[in-house]
Chain A
Amino acid sequence: MRLAAFVILAALVVGSAAGLILKRNPIHGALFLVLNLASVAGLYLTLRAEFLATAQVIVYAGAIAVLFVFAIMVLIPGKVETGPDPLRGQRWVAVPLAGAFLVLSALMLRSVALKGPGPATHVPGGIEAVGRLLFTDYLFPFEVTSFLLLAAIVGVLTLAKRKA
């Protein structure tokens, strides 16, 4: 049952990623990205990381995807990537390069000790376990995160401000 859920979600993830790469229209790419992120949220659920699944839907599939769609609306890059590609040879080199990267990472991950049965018990992935960590061991990084987000807000305002 869990395996079936994993297979369906994995197919959705890979398929939407392929759609994002292959579709020329960026708005289609954004919609594929939403599907991809939602499928990853489903995978978090099968890993019993409920808090992360919720945060994924809110932050990624909600905020970030909406930001992308807004950017596409503002820029209207409707007809980009038409016209001749000046670096067409490099695109064809890119495919075997990405394949080589996949083989390399697969070989590397095989050497990681993931063989044999995992632990019998599983940590609760709810907000309690993560929140306890965030407010004890990771308190300082958690506070720094707020500063990071503030810096991002100020930076975006500075960049987006029209020069008089």
Chain B
Amino acid sequence: MVPESYYVALSAVLFSMGVLGVLVRRNPLVIFMSIEMMLNAANLALVAFGQRHNTAEGQALVFFVMCVAAAEVAVGLAIIVVIFRLRRRLSVDELSVMRW
């Protein structure tokens, strides 16, 4: 059996790469994907901790995180589509005002 600390370490690496993606990229779609990656890293850590403590509650929590992520992606992509319709451009540097 692989020790759970390996999974937690991998989750830390994955989360940091998501942070890097959010900081470096300018395309809001790619920033969204990086956020999804960070959510996945947190999920992985939750499952690993749940196995460590011999309970399935971590997995139940991950289920809720998945639901929230699905809702978040749908709303976020809709917002991006609306912004693109209004501005014809997609760059997070120009989006300083959240109103129309």
Given A64-B73, A98-B23, A123-B51, does the pair A160, B16 have CB atoms closer than 8 Å?
A: no
Give the Cβ gap from B30 to chain A, nearest Cβ, in Å.
5
Q: Is the CB of B13 within 8 A of A102?
A: yes
Which of B51, B57, B70 makes the CB contact (< 8 A) with A59?
B70
Q: Per a CB cutoff under 8 Å, which of B19, B36, B53 touches A101?
A: B19
Q: Hey, which chain A residues are within 8 Å of B95, CB to CB?
A: none
Task: Provide the bound-state CA to CA distance between A95 and B72, in Å.
Answer: 27
Chain A: CB-nearest residue to B67: A145
By a CB distance below 8 angstroms, the chain B residues around A137 are 57, 60
Query: Contacts A26-B29, A114-B8 known; A75 to B70 CB distance under 8 Å?
Result: no
Q: CB distance B80 to A47 under 8 Å? A: no
Q: Which residues of A contact B (CB under 8 A)?
A: 2-3, 6, 10, 13-14, 17-18, 20-21, 26, 29-30, 33, 36-37, 40, 43-44, 46-49, 51-52, 55-56, 59-60, 63-64, 67-68, 71-72, 74-75, 77, 80-81, 85-87, 90-91, 94-95, 97-99, 101-102, 105-106, 109, 112, 114-115, 118-119, 121-125, 129-130, 132-134, 137-138, 141-142, 145, 148-149, 151-153, 155-156, 159-160
Considering only CB atoms and an 8 Å cut-off, how many residues of chain B contact the other chain?
A: 71
Known: A33-B36, A36-B40. A68 touches B24 (CB 8 A): no
Residues of B within 8 A of A36 (CB): 37, 40
Across chains A and B, the number of contacting residue pairs, with CB separation under 8 Å, is 224
Cross-chain contact A148 with B67 (CB below 8 angstroms) = yes
Give the residues in chain B near A109, CB-CB below 8 Å: 5, 8-9, 12
Closest beta carbon of chain B to A86's beta carbon, Å? 6
- Quick one: closest B residue to A129, CB to CB? B56
Q: Are A48 and B71 touching (Cβ within 8 A)?
A: no
Asked whether, in the complex, the Cβ of B74 is within 8 Å of the Cβ of A153, the reply is yes
CA of A75 to CA of B83 in the docked complex: distance in angstroms? 10
Q: Is the CB of B26 within 8 A of A156?
A: no
Chain A neighbourhood of B72, CB < 8 A: 152
A sample of 23 inter-chain contacts (CB < 8 A) reads: A14-B13, A20-B30, A21-B17, A21-B24, A26-B27, A33-B33, A37-B36, A37-B40, A44-B47, A47-B47, A64-B70, A64-B73, A72-B29, A75-B80, A80-B90, A80-B91, A98-B17, A109-B5, A115-B5, A125-B56, A145-B67, A148-B68, A152-B71
